[in-house]
Structure formats: C-alpha cells, structure tokens
Structure 1
Amino acid sequence: MAQRPIMKRINTKLEKVYRDILRIEETELQKSQFRDLSITEMHTIDAIGLHQKPTSSAVAARLHVTQGTLTVGIKQLVRKGYVDREHADDDKRIVNLLLTRKGRLMYRAHQAFHQQMVDRFVQGFNEDEIHLIEHALDNLMAFIAEQDQHL
C-alpha cells in the first residue's frame, strides 16, 4: 500500500526538524562563549540539571549511555569548569554531579533556546490544538520507547 502524500510530508518534516535543531544548536554553541563545549557535553549539562545533584548513574541513564562513557565526559566537563563532583558523605562510592556557576549559565542559555523554539512551535494554536500537538508527540515518544526496548 502506498504511503499517503501527507504522511510522506510529515516524515520529511520530522527528519528535517531533527537535523536542523542539532545543526542550529551546534552553530549557536560555536558562536557563543561556550564554544569549548560539544553538543554531547551541552546535553550532559542539561541532563544534570540546574538545582539537582543527581548521581552519575542517574545521568547516564537519562542520556542512554554507559557509566564509563559518562565518566569520560564528566572528566572533560570538570576540567573545563562546568561540572563538579561531590561524593556522598555516607558512601564515598556514590558520586553526585552538580553544575558550577559556568555550568548553570550554560544550562540557562540552552533552556532559553528551547523555550523560544517551543513558543514558536505552538504560536497561533489555541489550547485544544496545543493539546493535540502534545498528544501527537506522546504517540511519537511511545513509538521511540518501544524501539528502544528492542535494542
């Protein structure tokens, strides 16, 4: 059965949006005071969060990477001054991660970009239409979660 033209257009637009968001983030990062960061490092900062002190294993799970991969990335972020490690008082094996002042500034800048993007995405839609968009995104996220389970 042939794919309906609108479904092809939606697929093409989803692919383009995905590529373009990454490209714009990379370009803006290179133009900013945070040009010493990679996209992966920026998303690691985002996964740590502003006022949280998650464990390194929790951040690794959020990013869908191994603990070893995260450890390498965190070493770089500590060296660059974006992240600090804090060992738990009761169990020194537990490492909590927190953003430095520089890391919090990067986090806020990244969040501002995403806020602008979402504001523009829903511009001109009423509340019911925004809920419909959210439902469509929930469907997409469910599909992605199902695919993740098969990996």
Structure 2
Amino acid sequence: MDPLVNEINSYLVTIFNDVLMIEEKTLQSSRFKDVSIKEMHTIEAVGMYHQHTTSEVAKKLGVTVGTLTVSVNNLVRKGYVERIRTDSDRRVVKLALTPNGRLLYRLHDKFHRDMVKETIAEMDKEQSEILMIGLRNLHDFLERTKEQLPE
C-alpha cells in the first residue's frame, strides 16, 4: 500500500479514537459527569436553535426512534432535554435543550471549533481549501457507505 495512504489512515484512526476519548474524559471530569458520550451526541443532534421531532433526531444519529427514546428519557430526567408539544397538534412532540443542555452544547461545540482552528492554524487559504476537498470526499464516501448498510 502507498506509504502516504498508510500514514493518513493511521492519523484518521488515531484522531477518531482520541477525539472520543478526550470528549469522554472531559465529560467525566466536569460538572456534566452524568452525561455519557452517546448522550452528548444526542444533545448535539437535538441542537441549539431549532426544535426537532424524535424521528428527525433519530435519523440524524442513524438510530431507531426506540433507541433514541431511551437516551431522551435519560436526558429529560437529568435536565438536559425537554419535550415540547406543539400548539397546532398536541400529538406532535418536539425536542429542545434546556438551559443546562444548551450550556453543555456550547462547551462541546467550543472543543470542536478549537480543534478545527488548531488544524488549519498554519495553513494558508489554498491549503485549507485543499483540506476541505479531502474532507468533502471523505464525507461523501461515508454517506454512500451508510446508504448501503442494512436498516
């Protein structure tokens, strides 16, 4: 195999594992130690600014509504997520972050933004754009691969 492909693969695997480990350890050593990394990603999928249905969030996470409901129940109990019934149809339930959930979201988002800023810190605009092409290619590959997975 091409040495450059091997090196890039090694970095991608290490980065993926390191990000998850850092996120998990940061949660466990913070005031948010009651949140698992899986729950953190649920909070991220619920999002800061818009209310989403359980189905929308489940689709975003690539999980079943039943699986998501377990996480949401825990996050509601812990005070990070709330269920809101719409006025137009009381049967429709939307998910939203509580103030504590929004604080956690912002802290998590800051880590991601800092990571990106550090990644491109010594790059000029052209180098950053080349990185963006590679990331788009990777994203497109992952999206195509997800589509081929069994339900």
Q: Same fold (TM over 0.5)?
A: yes
| Alignment gaps of 5+ in structure 1 | none
Structure 2 counterpart of 1:27, one-letter code: K
| Residue deviations 1:96-147 (CA, integer Å, cap 9, x gap) | 0111110011001001111110110111001111111011000001111111
SS at match of 1:91: coil
Aligned to 1:57: 55
Aligned to 2:28: 30
- Distance in structure 1 (CA, Å) of the matches to 2:88 and 2:113: 38
Residue 87 of structure 2 corresponds to residue 89 of structure 1: yes
- Distance in structure 2 (CA, Å) of the matches to 1:57 and 1:92: 16
Aligned to 1:116: 114
- Distance in structure 1 (CA, Å) of the matches to 2:44 and 2:35: 12
Match of residue 11, structure 2, among 10, 13, 16: 13
Runs of 4+ in 1 over 6 A off after TM superposition: none
| Residue deviations 1:42-90 (CA, integer Å, cap 9, x gap) | 0111111112111111111111110111111100000000011011222
| Alignment gaps of 5+ in structure 2 | none
Alignment coverage as a number of residue pairs: 149
Structure 1 counterpart of 2:41, one-letter code: H
Aligned to 1:4: 2
TM-score normalised over the length of structure 2: 0.96
User: How is 1:70-109 mapped onto 2 (pairs within 5 angstroms)?
Assistant: 70-109=68-107
Residue 130 of structure 2 corresponds to residue 132 of structure 1: yes
TM superposition shift of 1:17: 0.5
